[in-house]
A and B are shown apart, each in its own frame.
Chain A
Amino acid sequence: MSQAATTTVAREDLFGLAAEFKDTPSIYHAAEKTHQAGFKWFDCHVPFPVHGLDRVMGVKMTILPIFVFFGGLTGLIAACILQVFTNSLEIDLWAIVPVVGYQFQVSGKPLLGPAAFVPVAFEMTVLFSALTAVFGTLFLNKLPMFYHPVLKHPALSRATDDRFYLVIEAKDPKFHRDEVEAFLQAFEPESVIALEK
């Protein structure tokens, strides 16, 4: 059945070929073999993170934790500057309006008392780290992206439900349509689907 389905997409419109699998061991082995065969532009579309699949696909460890570290550091420094400036110093600054710190003594606490500044510094560190983690992921994943060939094909909507898809993209230097199709068929998928750009 898949032979007929894949030929309906013209060569220049072809985004790639997708093989559909019913269970996790099949996609795991297919992805492993695809990586070993030297394909670079391929992906798996799965309803949940299959344990170890990223490793056999050859996905490199993301740099997200480094982003998050610097995000947290920014929060920490910002919190320290904010508290020291507003409560401990009297320097003129411009921030929308001219602003000046406000020194006032409360309960005999020192003007520059680091202990009192710890909770806010901690909270701001966590806040900035968390914002970086979430927006960093979206940025690295290039989301939101509301148009994508994988989203376009109706069959692949099951990638968020109960099917597992291995997609080899046409822009891969090793991509030759017939060879890739035969390569995918060898994994005995449920079907092989041609994806339109």
Chain B
Amino acid sequence: MTTLPINSSDNTGEDPRQRPQLVLNHRSFGSVTDDILKGNESSKAPKSWYFALAISFTMMSILGVMIGYLIFTGVGVWGNNNPVAWGYPIVNFVFWVGIGHAGTLISAILFLFRQKWRTAINRFAEAMTIFAVICAGTFPGIHIGRVWLAYWLFPIPNQMDMWPQFRSPLLWDVFAVGTYFTVSLLFWYLGMVPDLATMRDRSTTKIKSIAYGIFSLGWRGSMRHWHRYERAYLLLAALATPLVLSVHSVVSFDFAVSQLPGWHTTIFPPYFVAGAIFSGFAMVMTLAIPARELWGLKNFITMRHLENMCKVVLLTGSMVGYAYSMEFFIAWYSGEIYESFTFINRAFGPYGWAYWIMVSCNVITPQIFWFKKARQNIAIIFTASLLVNVGMWFERFVIVVTSLANDFLPSSWGIYEPTWVDVVTFLGSFGLFMTFFLLFIRFGPVLAIAEIKAVMPEADPHGHGHSYSEMEGETAASAKEMEGGE
């Protein structure tokens, strides 16, 4: 099997006889480390980083002010009203949890499927997951009305003889999201330990040396440690795979277990999971495209990686489109008047505009990725990924608001309008997300350095393939351009 020349920056060929390079323009492990950590080790971050951090931090502070205002004033500052008790906070919660799905999907499911291209994007997709779940967790926390009683969500022994209601999907959510956050955090951290050790060993200042030293736990690259580490990583991947599918299923139970038309459907769990992966990948692309420019990671997050992500977005976007049409079909086929009304009302009622934004962003936009030219055009990918994020937010808006606003009895119908506090709080959550993310790419190992080295052809210890005899000069293995099979 031959590979493209190592200096080629085009690895998007589809010729199955040529195995594409995942790492471009590198033939030594040392230069990979240097190149990935360039952004972390330079004494000053690029100006755009400071600029972005300033904006994000301001937005995050505004989020804090909004939450303070909410707590001191009451839930009345929001647009939530009697039929639509769930408004923005739950829309935002589902939106952020959905985004959080790509990280664990990439790190767990693609790992089990031996998709080696995941190594370049898994680390910051996992980071994105953690930060997105933090944003997600904020909303139900402040939505409960009396924020100081948020600990009632947990089964804590108390003198009131009260316990949470375990038959309620809302409590399942507490456990699902809590478990998801913890497992994602463990997965992320365990994966980072060897890379933190790399940063420790290369640190130039005392503070860095101590900080990375503590977080890397004294990792010394022992193969006996790697052996258990790899086993633990595989186990975590195997555990996180059903987990990632369960989390958004449980989130969908919040809706599906109720008896509201438009919510009470069995299609919800798979449809929510597909939507979550869809929005998560879109967010990974939204972050990866500027990050690879700013941090000089184009040799690792290559065109091929972006192209693969586009294909995932195309697939999951089409699944979401299929779910939309199937919901409509079943609403008609069931002959249920409330169900039928709800769907016609979604498309042509007072929130029809939101429905059509959703359809055009989520179903029509990704179809452009059928074309290879579009999958290789950064501007198109970036625009499409932003549109998908917008569309997926509107999907949750449509689901939450339309079903609540117009249910069975016209006498109890209402119209929901968000207030400025709703909108600013939502925008503020992006500040929280971006602040964490920017700090992470500056101070953490932004790519999985050890894993990337392990997928380079040079990492193969059985470097005695047919290409060996053709090598002269340097050590054959390190100069090896051919990827020998096992």
Contacts and interface: CB of A to CB of B under 8 A. Distances in A.
Interface of A: 22-28, 31, 43-54, 57, 59, 62, 64-65, 68, 82-83, 86-87, 95-102, 104, 106-107, 109, 113, 116-117, 119-120, 122-124, 126-127, 129-131, 133-134, 136-138, 140-141, 143-148, 150-151, 156-162
A51 B157 contact: no
Contacts of A59: 223-224, 227
Nearest to A102: B163
Given A47-B198, A86-B164, A106-B165, A25 B462 contact: yes
A49 B458 contact: no
Given A141-B228, A161-B29, A162-B28, A119 B239 contact: no
A64 B230 contact: no
Contacts of A68: 235
B155 A82 contact: yes
Q: Is the interface of B mostly helix, strand, loop or mixed?
A: helix
A137 B190 contact: yes
Nearest to B227: A54
B453 interface: yes
Interface of B: 28-30, 32-33, 155, 157-159, 161-169, 171-172, 175-176, 178-179, 182-183, 186-187, 189-190, 194, 197-198, 200-202, 213-214, 217-232, 235-236, 239-240, 242-243, 246, 250, 253, 450-451, 453-454, 458-464, 475, 477-478
A25 B462 CA distance: 6
Given A87-B163, A126-B243, A151-B218, A119 B461 contact: no
Contacts of B198: 47, 160-161
B166 A117 contact: yes
A65 B231 contact: yes
Nearest to A109: B167
B223 A46 contact: yes
A89 B219 CA distance: 48
Interface centre among B29, B167, B221 (most CB of A within 10 A): B221
Contacts of B228: 62, 64, 137, 140-141
Contacts of B253: 119
B33 to A, nearest CB: 5
A133 B235 contact: yes
Given A53-B223, A98-B159, 16 more contacts: A45-B220, A47-B194, A52-B462, A64-B231, A68-B235, A86-B166, A96-B157, A120-B171, A122-B242, A134-B189, A137-B228, A140-B228, A143-B217, A159-B220, A160-B198, A160-B221
